[in-house]
């Protein structure tokens, strides 16, 4: 698949087929992503690939934590405390579009939201999960490098006919993930990711969120 086409086709997929992903494909994706740039070639990325019983153990532990009302303790703040425009409007529109695709109505929103959120911890049915970590000694620039690496993983997966969904939700309880995967406490959990083959028949995979054109976010100087 041509690179620009892969970038355009990439989207967050929230329903997957029960179809295994070849280990060789995962290795090729990670090898491609390793070419992402990083300041002074620090290559700060650490990746845990989870499948089978390990993935199930993480799912069960995360759901148990949420159902027991354990307070999430992510290693960093993903979202602002004070939402401002235009970001708040985009956030609200995103949530409404997702709930509509999931068929969540206001009258049963609480229970449906709970089920939908737990589906995050189930990796949306994907056979493979990825967890991305970074050493605590590294600074903001290395987090930028991690973003470029994670994006490259998603583009490489798309080029191979696979789908992904990057998930901050999988990093809500980092101590649980670190314990199960035996990750040193010196590493900060950035996010998780679902990886697999999209179930294109599911409505949740058919809605598309709008993107601003460069006219709205780019300025040109001569």
Structure token pair of residue 116: 């939908």
Per-residue confidence at 108, pLDDT binned at 50, 70, 90? low
Per-residue confidence at 66, pLDDT binned at 50, 70, 90? very high
Q: Please give the pLDDT value at position 45.
A: 98
Give 129-138 pLDDT, tens digit per residue: 999 999 999 9
- Degrees to nearest 5, angle at CA 132 with 7 and 205: 45
Per-residue confidence at 172, pLDDT binned at 50, 70, 90? very high
Q: Please give the pLDDT value at position 208.
A: 87
Q: What Å distances lie between residue 89 and 28, 50, 141, 204, CA to CA?
A: 38, 35, 28, 21
Query: What does the pLDDT average to over 89-93?
Result: 90
Q: Which of 86-90, 105-109, 192-196 has the lowest mean pLDDT?
A: 105-109
Q: Which class in CATH covers the domain with range 3-206? A: alpha beta
Per-residue confidence at 156, pLDDT binned at 50, 70, 90? very high
Assess contact for 164 and 151: CB atoms under 8 A: no
Per-residue confidence at 115, pLDDT binned at 50, 70, 90? confident
Q: How far apart are CA 173 and CA 80, in angstroms?
A: 19
Q: How far apart are CA 87 and CA 78, in angstroms?
A: 13
Q: Please give the pLDDT value at position 157.
A: 98
* Cβ neighbours, 10 Å, residue 141: 13
Query: What does the pLDDT average to over 46-69?
Result: 97
Q: Please give the pLDDT value at position 122.
A: 97
Q: Please give the pLDDT value at position 207.
A: 86
Could you tell me which of 152, 139, 131, 136 has the C-alpha nearest to residue 40?
139
Confidence check: pLDDT of 104 > 90: no
Confidence check: pLDDT of 1 > 90: no
pTM for the whole thing? 0.94
- Degrees to nearest 5, angle at CA 77 with 157 and 194: 20
Query: What does the pLDDT average to over 156-161?
Result: 98
């Amino acid at each position: 698949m041509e690179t620009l086409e892969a970038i355009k086709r990439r989207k967050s997929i929230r329903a997957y087929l029960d179809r295994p992903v070849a280990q060789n494909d995962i290795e090729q994706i990670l090898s491609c992503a390793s070419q992402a740039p990083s300041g002074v070639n620090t290559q700060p990325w650490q990746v845990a690939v989870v499948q089978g019983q390990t993935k199930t153990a993480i799912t069960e532990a995360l759901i148990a934590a949420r159902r027991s009302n354990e307070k999430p303790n992510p290693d960093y703040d993903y979202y602002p405390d004070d939402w401002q425009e235009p970001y708040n409007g985009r956030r609200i529109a995103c949530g409404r579009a997702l709930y509509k695709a999931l068929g969540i109505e206001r009258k049963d929103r609480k229970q449906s939201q709970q089920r939908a959120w737990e589906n995050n911890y189930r990796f949306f049915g994907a056979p493979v999960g990825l967890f991305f970590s970074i050493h605590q000694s590294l600074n903001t620039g290395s987090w930028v490098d991690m973003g470029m690496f994670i994006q490259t993983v998603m583009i490489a997966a798309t080029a191979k006919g696979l789908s992904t969904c990057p998930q901050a939700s999988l990093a809500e309880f980092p101590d649980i993930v670190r314990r199960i995967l035996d990750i040193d406490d010196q590493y900060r959990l950035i996010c998780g990711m679902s990886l697999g083959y999209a179930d294109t028949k599911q409505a949740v995979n058919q809605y598309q969120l709008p993107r601003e054109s460069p006219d709205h976010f780019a300025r040109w100087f001569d």
